[in-house]
Amino acid sequence: MPEDSRARIISAAFDCIARYGLSKTTVDDVARQARVSRATIYRYFPEGREQLIRDVVDWEASRFFESIGRELGGVTGSGNLLATIISLGARQLEQHQVIQTLLDTERDLLVNYLTVESRPLLDIMAAFLVPYLTDLGLPVETTAQEAAEYVGRMVISLISAPGSFDLTNEEVTSRLVETQVLGWADR
């Protein structure tokens, strides 16, 4: 039952962030939405609101990558695979109502989670990518974990500042992946 309560609190916090925004969501809002007391929230999140927000970001990032994983199907080859992952991710981000709202209303807070506080997100991305990068002809001195972290950093950079690249276009993304991301492929 405790895991159910924790999951309900995280889900309620996500709903509050969608409704009020990241900076305006309070522990009281989440407690009301989850139908629990403030004390219950602090029992599961002893560091308070900041821990709750971090855990919500981690929870939604995990759901995001699970969704991408379900859509990958039979994609093979490191370039095709990474281009597909990036394109799927970019399309999902474009359609993600909460992310788009935060980009419009609280861009600085969101960028902070993507840059300064990116370690948890990078860990989630790397855990997702490692199985896909294993045995793809990495240089001997490079582990799948190192390659996954590198690719994760590149993807965060491309998503947070795409420049002129239309990452939703798989052809553009394939060309970008082949020329900029997969430096190890030619070794």
**pLDDT tens digits, one per residue of 79-137:** 677 788 888 888 888 888 888 888 888 888 877 877 888 888 889 888 988 887 776 66
- pLDDT for the residue numbered 2: 67
From first CA to last CA, the distance across the chain in angstroms is: 51
Cα dist from 159 to 1, 64, 110, 131, 164, whole Å: 37, 14, 12, 22, 11
The more confident residue out of 56 and 177 is: 56
CA geometry: angle 99, 23, 119, nearest 5 deg: 60
Scanning the chain, the segments in alpha helix (DSSP H) are 2-20, 27-34, 38-44, 49-72, 78-95, 97-105, 107-114, 119-133, 144-160, 170-176
- What are residue 185's phi and psi, to 5 degrees? -65, -30
Whole-prediction pTM value? 0.77
Spatial separation of the C-alpha atoms in residues 93 and 99, rounded to whole Å: 7
pLDDT of 187 over the 50 cut:
no
Token output for 153: 């950093």
When pLDDT is averaged across residues 31-55 and rounded to a whole number, the result is 95
Q: Please give the backbone phi and psi of residue 70, each rounded to the nearest 5 degrees, phi first.
A: -65, -30
Residues 60 and 15 sit within 8 Å (Cβ to Cβ): no
What span, in angstroms and rounded, lies between the C-alpha atoms of 81 and 52?
33
pLDDT for residue 74: 66
For residues 49-55, give the mean pLDDT. 91
> What's the DSSP call for residue 184?
G
Residue 185 has pLDDT above 60, yes or no: no
Instruction: Name the more confident of 14 and 101.
Output: 14
pLDDT digits (tens, 9 = 90+) for 141-175: 888 888 888 878 877 777 677 678 888 888 888 88
pLDDT the model gives residue 186: 45
Q: How far apart are CA 57 and CA 5, in angstroms?
A: 17
